[in-house]
Chain A
Amino acid sequence: MSTLAPLVLLLPLAGFLVNALFGRLLPRRVVAWVGAGSVGASFLVVLAIFGQVLGGQRLDQTYWSWWSTGDFSVPFNLYIDPLSTLMMLVITGVGFLIHAYSIGYMADDPGYSRFFAEMNLFVLSMLLLVTSGNFVWLIVGWAGVGLCSYLLIGFWYERTSAVLAARKAFVMNVIGDVGMVFGAFVIFLNLRALDYGTIFARLHQLPRGGTVITAICLLLLVGAIAKSAQLPLHTWLPDAMEGPTPVSALIHAATMVTAGVYLVARMHLLYDWAPTAAAVVAVIGALTAFFAATIGTVQVDIKRILAYSTMSQIGYMFLAVGIGAYAAGMFHFMTHAFFKALLFLAAGNVIHAFRDDQDIRHMGFLRRGLPITFWTFLIGTLSISGAPLLAGFWSKDEIIRSALTGTNTLTVALGVLALITAGLTAFYMFRLFFTAFGWEWLAHDERHLHEAARVQTVPVMVLAVFSVIGGYFAVGSFLNPVFGEARQIGAGAQIGIGLVAVVTALAGFLLAYQLYARRPALAPAIQARLRPVHTLLWRKYFIDELYDRIFVRPGYALGAFLSGVFEPRVLDGLAAGVVSFVQLVAGDWRTWETGRVRRYALWTLGGAGVIAGYFAWVLLVARSAP
């Protein structure tokens, strides 16, 4: 295993290097083979590692010492256990399918090799993030993921909206990165280590629930919520739709947004040690799940709806890891990767068929035009909505169950919220399905609709299979060695809560069916009646506008103030003030050279004045004081 593990990283790295350096020179076929093949080969290696991990093997090996000074050293060590293995499986497996799909989807794009190079780098960063055994390399991967998302969201840099979206994602991610770095810094200050093994071993030196551990967990959480697009650092994710659709699939399903969940799960010993911080995680998760679902009910852009659904589903995972149901959270991460990748890739086919129109109100009659896409999308919709026996049902049900059977009122309340969200999920997903795939027909002629190429439909079908059977993988028992045995829940409660969840989802489905399939005229009427609510949701609770007012505009104003008023007036004024006394003594200083040079000299004198003032203070006040 110690030789296999680096291979997982080296393969995408090789793919990235080949495509980045020689991509322009190579024929497209080769670029595609290198891009998708490197990730596929990496997946095969991960499968081999998976077998060994099933056999009980673990790995925490140092390959190389990056640098060491004094007592402080940063090794490059890989940390392989069931948790990182699960992550690797999904990243490389789903990642490979998305890469394969991109071969067809991006076929006509001039930036073919750049696309595959950046996608490979994205996968590499994510793999580094989940296999690193210390915080330094975790942060390197973390920042790499942010960088790649910036590059890929802004892939079509000719579009102003894409560049703006990329910048927004970057800024939000940097806020998170700063939180991460500070978190790691506080850990190092208190535990004198940055590798996981030592941190976990020394964790008990800190008082349980104390300020330090809570601060650490909250700082790490800032990084996690930025990367996972949770409240209040979520606004970048819906805008990230500006990137090519496979990028959206990769960001939403296999990489990036799940990094936050992974971080909390990986640091679960820390969060167990800081119950307050864990509760914050759960609250943020449940609120985001509900909040995003409500916005999803009114949007009309197919990718935007899916983006809000991602936020909502990640919210479920945060809720799970926040209440200590780590295995349930990771289980949902896996099933979500299947059906969300499926939904995005299928949506990509739809968008291509409608020549890049993403408005669901302009779509329709897809069952005959794009039968494979139609049926696979339906499976994805059923799975995410929690239809019984499909993958999404099992994992979501487990989270809701863990919350509802929780020991304190907060957990139970969050569980109820999660249950309501499940109903909303079924509603907005079927609203999307009925509107886009249903019987409405507006602007397009049937004959122009064509199913996508084989290379695009096969990955979707594979994902559809996993969206059905994914719920039967025994993720919980696989992860037991990491998180410990899950809490046992009585069979009665299990069935009861399962039934309630199904009924809630069914209610959502029926409502969508009534409004968007049976009686389409009803929806606009209701929308008119509830105009304020609709506007609120349509404008996404005005959070973008709020941030613009609070942060962006004052930021620009501060910059303008500093360069326009502060520096010329105040600082120069200060310097001039110090100097005016000297001027008085020295007489007519103004004849001394031209205006600007004189002003520069005044600065120098002003600076000297500050230092002199300090010394005068030291000598006259500080030293004479007893």
Chain B
Amino acid sequence: MIDTSRLGIDYGVLLPELVVTATALLVLVLDLLIPPGRRRWLAAVSALGLLLALLATVPLWGADRSAFSGTVIGDSFAAFFDVILLSTGLLTVLISPRFLRSLGLEYGEYYVLTLAAMAGMMLLAAATSLMTIFLGIELLSIALYVLAGFARRNLRSQESALKYLLLGGFASGFLLYGMALIYGATGATTLHGIAQFVGASGSSVLLLVGIGFLVVGLAFKASAAPFHMWTPDVYQGAPTVVTTFMSVATKAAAFAVIGRVFVAAFPTIRADWYFPLAFVAIVSLGIGNFVAITQSNLKRLLAYSGIAQAGYILLGILPGSSEGLAASLFYVAAYAVMNFGAFAVVTAVETRVGEGGTEIPAWTGLFYRQPLLATTMTVFMLSLAGIPPTVGFFAKLFVFRPLVEAQLWAPLAVAIVTTVISFYYYLRVVVVMLTAPEEAGRPAREPVSRVMGAILVFCSIATIVLGVFPTVVFDWARTAAALHL
């Protein structure tokens, strides 16, 4: 007789992940049973599953349940990211059917893969062991490789998937090698064990090299520079709904790992990991904000903007304090709302205009054709630029503040200067939408689907409301950031 209670089996901790996985399997089976014309229902089932998973995160708030031999944990930190990830997934699933139909891509696998990626991301948020981290990363990556190439007949989509796969494999190699070295240096795979060892013995050469490789692998997933090169091509080539999901959720998941690993597992050797992270943050801010200026395709522009935003999120990690981590978490939440909204607008425009709809000239005078899309896009652009009273302003303010207190002037100065530069390209989008189209007579207005309209209005209202009452979410972020392993 084996005493299974000693294994620390606690399915409650993984309940949200399990619900999502079960939903994925259910959708897979349903897809085989229902006729192709009814595939819309798969979106409904997926949405229902995600809602259930959201409910399942409730018991995790304020909990501190380490399970499965210390490889996963159920705590506020995981719950915080679960809520962000599940909401993103839910909204993605809701805006997908119409877009997929417009491209002739209405396949059930889309939902299965999205849910599988979700499960991987949520596992990352809960992971407290190098093994579960790697498991989560691979789970989300493999699903996303396929999703990026989901528009099989489109060459760009194929190219996107192949590039993502090759470079992602390369980065996974770095990540795994880093993990192996960290294990070699500390003799532990759980973050708890690593933290104990490092706290007692300090750093070593092996550990430093391992940390360096870990940064490379994670920065790749978060699309932070200089490991960002795949981002614009993949974002541009992948179907826009996939890009929407990928740009928000993947980044959130990557930062869940970065936050937990660096602030919770290596707090005692901050001096050692400060440089790699600061380097990545500064280069991301520089490259993202500068190169975005020259882009003429909106998806590429948002890709570079996303690289820059990754830099801002990293800023909060640099001080190594829980206050800084809370700021980063707040930024992730803000980023999820505003970036999802921005990409959703791109999706809506592309649904109507076709593939050329992501080129910036196609947006000229959008304000007069589709005032709802243009107005909400304006809100998202202002927020991404960090202009009050939007949530983006506070996101920036909150990550800048810990830098001031920790007296990290160099990253702060870079961040402020590049923020000012970023106004240019964000506001350019607004200006383009406001510029009247050249042909005489304004084209008739085209309606936006009701679901899409509701989601856009929801996101833009959230962007502003969180900018007026930021403390609500920030208090949650603080609770979540009070980590203990």
Contacts and interface: CB of A to CB of B under 8 A. Distances in A.
A559 B425 CA distance: 13
B173 to A, nearest CB: 10
A608 B174 contact: yes
Secondary structure call for the A interface: helix
Interface in B277-324: 279-280, 283, 290-291, 293-294, 323
Contact of B229 (A70, A157, A189, A603): A603
B294 A559 contact: yes
B381 to A, nearest CB: 13
A473 interface: no
B156 to A, nearest CB: 13
Contact of B435 (A69, A157, A608, A611): A157
A157 B434 contact: yes
A67 B465 CA distance: 13
Interface of B is mostly: helix
Nearest to B212: A611
A247 B440 CA distance: 27
B451 interface: no
A603 B398 contact: no
A600 B279 contact: no
Contacts of B272: 618
Nearest to A615: B208
Given A607-B216, A611-B276, A599 B229 contact: yes
B279 A559 contact: no
Nearest to B478: A69
Contact of A68 (B162, B291, B293, B471): B471
Contacts of A575: 226
B315 to A, nearest CB: 16
Contacts of B266: none
Given A69-B474, A140-B388, A597 B167 contact: yes
A3 interface: no
B448 interface: no
Interface string B202-228: 000100110011011001100001111
Interface residues of A, number: 37
A604 B167 contact: yes
Contacts of B229: 599-600, 603-604
Given A69-B398, A611-B275, A619-B205, A178 B226 contact: no
A67 B208 contact: no
Contacts of B230: 600
B226 A189 contact: no
Contacts of B212: 608, 611-612, 615
Interface string A274-312: 000000000000000000000000000000000000000
Nearest to A562: B290
Given A67-B394, A597-B167, A615-B212, A604 B226 contact: yes
A72 interface: yes
A547 interface: no
Contact of A611 (B163, B215, B220): B215
Contact of B216 (A143, A611, A614): A611
A567 B209 contact: no
Contact of A601 (B170, B219, B276, B387): B170
B442 to A, nearest CB: 11
A158 interface: yes
A618 B205 CA distance: 10
A66 B162 CA distance: 48
B226 A607 contact: yes
A593 interface: yes
A562 B171 CA distance: 27
Contacts of A68: 471
B423 interface: yes
Contacts of B388: 140, 143
A610 interface: yes
A158 B435 CA distance: 8
B166 interface: yes
B387 A143 contact: yes
A106 to B, nearest CB: 18
B470 interface: yes
B389 interface: yes
10 contacts: A67-B469, A140-B389, A559-B290, A601-B167, A603-B229, A607-B219, A607-B280, A610-B279, A615-B209, A618-B272
Given A604-B229, A607-B226, 11 more contacts: A67-B469, A143-B388, A559-B293, A562-B290, A597-B163, A597-B167, A601-B166, A603-B227, A604-B174, A608-B174, A614-B276
Interface of B: 162-163, 166-167, 170-171, 174, 205, 208-209, 212-213, 215-216, 219-220, 225-230, 233, 272, 275-276, 279-280, 283, 290-291, 293-294, 323, 387-389, 394, 398, 401, 404, 420, 423, 434-436, 468-471, 474
